[in-house]
Structure 1
Amino acid sequence: MTNTAPQQSTAGHLLRWLIVIMMVYLLLVAVAMIGSGFKWASGGAEGAKQIFAFASNPIMGLVMGAFATALVQSSSTVTSVIVGLVAGGLPVATAIPMIMGANLGTTVTNTLVSMGHIGKKKEFRRAFSAATVHDFFNLMAVAIFLPLEIFTGYLSKTSEWLSTHLVGGESMSMKGFDFIKPLTKPLVTVFKDMFESLPGIWGGVALALLGLAFIFVSIIVLGKMLKVLMVGRAKMILHRAIGHGPITGITSGTLMTIAVQSSSTSTSLIVPLAGNGLFKLKEIYPFTLGANIGTCVTALLAATAVEGTHAIFALQIALVHLVFNVSAVIVIYGIPQLRVIPMITARRFAQMASRRKWIVFAYVAGLFFVLPAALIAITA
C-alpha cells in the first residue's frame, strides 16, 4: 500500500514526458503541413509572393506579427507559423518584420498579469513597471533594427551567413537535419492524401489550416506539461539567479524560457514577484531579455521539420529571430545610455498608470489590438 503513491507519481511523471515528446513531434509535423499546404495552395514561390504582397510593407509586416501574437498570446505559435510560411515560399524579407512584430505582441501577456495588482497602488506600480520594461525594450529594439534592416539588410545577411555555414549552402538544403524528414513525412503524406480530392487550391488550404490547428494544440499542451514538469525547478533558478548580476539574470531568463517553452510564462512569473517587492526593476530587466532569447528555440526547432528548396530559408528566418534578440540585448543593454531608457520609461509610465487606471486599459487595448486592427483594415 505504501508504494502505490510513489509508483503513481513516477508513472504520471513519465506520462507527462511522453506527452511532451509527442507534442514536439506534432509541432514538427504541423510546420511541415503548413509549408506543404501553402505551396500547394499558392502554386509555388511566385504565388506566395503575390499572396503576401500586402505585407511587403515592413510596417504592415510588423503590425501583422504583433496583432497575431497578441490575439493568440503566444510568440512561439506565431513564429512557428512564419517558419512554415517561409517553407512554403513566403520571402524572408517579408517575414523579418513579422518576426519583430511577434516579439512585440508577446509582451501583452505579462502586462495583463500586472493588472492583477491593480487594487493596491504600490504593488501595481512595481508590477506594471516590471511588465512594461519588456514592452519598451522591444519597442526600442524594433525602432533600431527595423530601419537598420531596411537600409543595410543586417538581419537577413547575418542569418543567411549563419544558415549557410550551419547546413553547407542552399544546394544542400537542410541535409544536416535529414533525420527529421523520415519521422514527419509519413504523417504529412497521410493528411495530404486526405485532402487530395478537394478542388483547386482548397486541398492546400485545408492542409495548412489543419497544420495551424496542430501548432495551437502542440504549443498549448506542451506549455501546460512543461509548466507542471519544470516551473517548480524554474522558480528555484529564478530565486537563485536574479540579483546576482545582469549576466546571470539574462542566462536564467534564457534557460527558464527554454525549459517552459514560453517567454509569456517566464516573464509572467516574474511580474507578481516584482509587485510583492521581492525583486527590483533593475533585477527583473535582464531576466526579461533572457526570455526574449530563450523563446527563439521553438522557431529553430520548427525549422528542422522543413524539407525542399525553401528549407534553408526556413532555418534563416528562425535564425533572424535569434540574431535580432541577441543583437538587441548587446546594443541596448550593452550601451549604458540606451540601457536606462526602458527602465526610466517603464517607471514613469507606471506612476501615471497607478494614478489613472484607465490609462492601463487604453494602453493594452490601443497598442496591441485597436491600432494594429485599424492599420490592417485600412491597408486591406
Structure 2
Amino acid sequence: MAPLPQTHPTTPVPELDAERAGKDVAEKESESDSESEKSEQEQEFDPWDLPELQDTGLKWSELDTKGKVLRVFRSIVKFILLLCLLYIFVCSLDILSSAFQLVGGKAAGDIFQDNAVLSNPVAGLVIGVLVTVLVQSSSTSTSIVVSMVSSGSGDRNEFRRAFAGATVHDFFNWLSVLVLLPLEVASGYLYKLTKLVIDSFNLQTGADAPDLLKVITEPLTKNIIELDTSVIRDIATGDPAARNKSLVKIWCKTQDITNLVNITVPDIINCTVGAPCWEVDDEIWTQENQTETLYLKKCKHMFVYANLPDLAVGLILLALSLLALCTCLILIVKLLNSMLKGQVAVVIKKVLNTDFPFPFSWVTGYLAIIVGAGMTFIVQSSSVFTSAITPLVGIGVISIERAYPLTLGSNIGTTTTAILAALASPGETLANSLQISLCHFFFNISGILLWYPIPFMRIPIRLAKALGNRTAKYRWFAGLYLILCFILLPLIVLGLSIAGWQVLVGVGVPVLAFAILVIIISIVQKRWPRFLPKILRSWDFLPKPLHSLKPWDKVVVSSMVFCRTRCCCCCKCCNEKEKDDVKAKEKSLEMYDNSAFTVDDEAKVVATHL
C-alpha cells in the first residue's frame, strides 16, 4: 500500500540535526526556569479545590413555553430513572451479600465456632475485617469499589476526589482500632461502660424490628435468591448436622408437628421420664415426643430447581450482582452529571458546603454528622448512603471536608440496625446481644471524639487525600490497596495470631516499629529536614523501587499491554483489527485524493493513522 502523502515539505537531515541540537541546548539552559514555573503552577492549582459549576445552558427565563415543558419533562424522567437505578443498585448489594454468604458463609460459621481463636483480640479484629468483606455487609469495601467504577473517566481529579471520599472512612476505622483496641485490652472500658448501661435497664424481649430497606428490596431479591441464614448460625453454635445443609432455601413455608410415638429402648433405665414403659416380646417400649417437619410450599426464586452446590450458585450470583452494580454505578454517575448542572448544581454545592456564620461555624460539621446518622437510619444501610456520597465527591458537589462528618454520622446510624436486631433477641440472649451492639455504638462515638472535634486531629482527611493523590497518578494502586488492606494483611495477621502471642509479638512489633520510624522520618523530611543527617533528608539512597512507584508502574503497564495483546491474538481479534485499520487507511487516502479535501479532513486522516 502506498505511504501516506505528506502535507508539509521534508526538512533536510543536517538542518534537522542542528535544530534538535539547538533545542537540546535550550532545554538544558531553561531546565531550572521550567521547574520553578512548574512548581509555581502546582502551588497555584490545588486539585482538591471543588471545580466551578457554571450554568452552560439556557436560563429558565430564556425558554419559551415548549422549552419549559420539555425541560420539566426531562427532569422528571431523569429523576424517575435515577430512583430506578438506585433501587437496582440496592438490590444488587443485597444479592452481592447473598453471593458472598454462599461462597464463604459456612467458613465464617466455622471461624466463629473456634473459641480459642476468638479469645485473641487481634485475631478477633482481623476476623471481623475478613468476614465483613466476605459478606459485603459494610460500606468500606463497597465505597472503594464505587469510587473505582464511578470515577473511571479520564479526569484524574474526579478519580482523586472520589477515591479519597471512599477511603476516608477506612482511615477513620483503622486509626480508631489502633488506638481503642489496645485501650480496651488494657482497661476494658467498652465492656464496663456497656455493662453499666445494660444493668441500668429492665430489659425484656422485644418484637422483630422492621427492616425498612428489606421491605423495599425483597419483592425483587426474593425472586432471585433466598437464603437460610440459620444454617450459618447452627454451624457457629456447633450443630454438626448443619454442615450438610444448603444455604439455598428451598421450602419457604413449613410446619412442625409434634406427635407422641412409641419407641423401643435398650433397657428400662432409658425410658422417657414421666412416660409409660412396658415390655412386649422381650422388647422394652416407651413413648416420647417427636417433631416432624411438613414441607408445605416451595420458594419461587430462580435457583429452587437448579440442584447446584452453594459455591456454584454463589459464583453465578457474584458475577451477575457485580455486573448490575457496576452498570448502575456508571449510569448513576452519568445521570448525576447531567442532572447536577447549571443553577441546580450551584445551589446544591452551596447548600452542602456552606458553613454557619461565625462564631457558629463549628456547628456545621456536627449537623452533618446528625444528617448522616439520620439518613443511614432511614435506609438502614451505610453502604447505600456512603456509596451515594462517593460519586458526588468525585464530580465536585461535596467537598472531602464535608463528606467526612457525613461518613462519621453514617457510622453511628449503622449501629442502630444492630441495636434494633438485639432488642428482638430472646430473653436469655437479650442482654448479651444488646451489650455487643452498644459496644459498636460507643466504639464509633469514641472514634469521633478522637478524630473530629479538634481540627488538627482530623488525620483521616489528610491520609485520604494523600492516598487519592497516589491513586490519581497510578490507577492500579487502588486495586492493590483494596487487596492489601482487606485481604492479604488481615490474613497475615490472622495467621500470626493463630500461631500464638509469641509469634505475633515477635514478628508484629518489629514491623510496626519500623513502619512508625519510616513515617516519622518522612514527616521530618518534609517539615524539618535540617534536623536529619544528610543521607536521611531523602530516600534517594535506597533503590528506586523501594521509594517510588514509577518503576512498578512501568511493570504493571507493560504487563497489561502484554496481556491485552496476547488475549487479543488468542481471540483472533488482532487480525480483525488490522483489517479494519487497513480499510480505514484506504478510505482516508481516497478522501485525500478528493479535490474537495479540506483541512479538517486532513486532520482526520492524520488522527486515523496515529
**TM surpasses 0.5:** yes
Cα distance between partner residues in 2 of 1:349 and 1:178: 45
Q: Does the 8 A contact of 1:130 with 1:274 survive in 2?
A: yes
Q: Deviations over 1:57-116 (max 9, x none)?
A: 1111111111111122113xxxxxxxxxxxxxxxxxxxxxxxxxxxxxx41211111113
Residue of structure 2 equivalent to 1:121: 156
Residue of structure 1 equivalent to 2:483: 365
Q: Does the 8 A contact of 2:392 with 2:398 survive in 1?
A: yes
- Partner letter of residue 278 of structure 1? V
Distance change >3 Å, CA 270–CA 365, structure 1 → 2 = same
Q: Deviations over 1:159-210 (max 9, x none)?
A: 11112223x3xxxxx42x34559xxxxxxxxx99xxx9xxx93356689968
- Partner letter of residue 151 of structure 2? H
Residue of structure 1 equivalent to 2:165: 130
Cα distance between partner residues in 1 of 2:246 and 2:121: 24
Indicate the RMSD between aligned Cα atoms, in angstroms.
4.1
Residue of structure 2 equivalent to 1:155: 190
Cα distance between partner residues in 1 of 2:248 and 2:451: 40
Counterpart check, 1:110 vs 2:143: yes
Cα distance between partner residues in 1 of 2:385 and 2:207: 31
- Partner letter of residue 108 of structure 1? S
Residue of structure 2 equivalent to 1:20: none
Cα distance between partner residues in 2 of 1:164 and 1:207: 39
Q: Does the 8 A contact of 1:163 with 1:319 survive in 2?
A: no
Structure 1: runs of 5+ lacking an equivalent: 1-8, 10-15, 17-22, 24-40, 43-47, 76-105, 169-173, 182-190, 218-223, 225-234
Residue of structure 2 equivalent to 1:263: 382
Cα distance between partner residues in 2 of 1:67 and 1:159: 25
Residue of structure 1 equivalent to 2:105: none
Cα distance between partner residues in 1 of 2:388 and 2:112: 40
Cα distance between partner residues in 1 of 2:391 and 2:113: 46
Cα distance between partner residues in 2 of 1:352 and 1:131: 14
Q: Does the 8 A contact of 2:206 with 2:425 survive in 1?
A: no
Matches within 5 A, 1:168-183: 168=202, 174-175=203-204, 177-179=205-207
- Partner letter of residue 250 of structure 1? I
Of the three residues 51, 64, 73, the one matched with 2:127 is 64
Partner of 1:74, secondary structure, is: coil
Partner of 1:353, secondary structure, is: helix
Residue of structure 2 equivalent to 1:342: 460
More helix by share: 1
Q: Does the 8 A contact of 2:164 with 2:465 survive in 1?
A: yes
Cα distance between partner residues in 2 of 1:161 and 1:363: 40
Cα distance between partner residues in 2 of 1:204 and 1:360: 39
How far is 1:297 from its partner?
A: 1.1
Cα distance between partner residues in 2 of 1:180 and 1:111: 32
Residue of structure 1 equivalent to 2:373: 254
Length-normalised TM-score, structure 1: 0.62
Distance change >3 Å, CA 280–CA 241, structure 1 → 2 = closer
How far is 1:302 from its partner?
A: 1.2
Cα distance between partner residues in 2 of 1:317 and 1:373: 24
Partner of 2:428, secondary structure, is: coil
Residue of structure 1 equivalent to 2:394: 275
Identical residues among aligned pairs (%): 38
Length-normalised TM-score, structure 2: 0.40
Report the count of equivalent residues.
272
How far is 1:50 from its partner?
A: 7.5
Cα distance between partner residues in 2 of 1:201 and 1:139: 35
Cα distance between partner residues in 1 of 2:461 and 2:480: 21
Cα distance between partner residues in 1 of 2:246 and 2:120: 24
Q: Deviations over 1:245-290 (max 9, x none)?
A: 2012101110111111111110111111111011111111100000
How far is 1:324 from its partner?
A: 0.7
Partner of 2:397, secondary structure, is: coil
Of the three residues 466, 469, 488, the one matched with 1:351 is 469
Higher relative contact order (CA 8 A, sep 6+): 1
Cα distance between partner residues in 2 of 1:299 and 1:208: 26
Cα distance between partner residues in 2 of 1:155 and 1:320: 6
Distance change >3 Å, CA 208–CA 58, structure 1 → 2 = farther
- Partner letter of residue 281 of structure 1? I
Q: Does the 8 A contact of 1:125 with 1:350 survive in 2?
A: yes
Structure 2: runs of 5+ lacking an equivalent: 1-79, 81-86, 88-93, 95-108, 210-228, 253-300, 302-324, 326-339, 356-363, 500-610
More strand by share: 2
Q: Does the 8 A contact of 1:241 with 1:248 survive in 2?
A: no
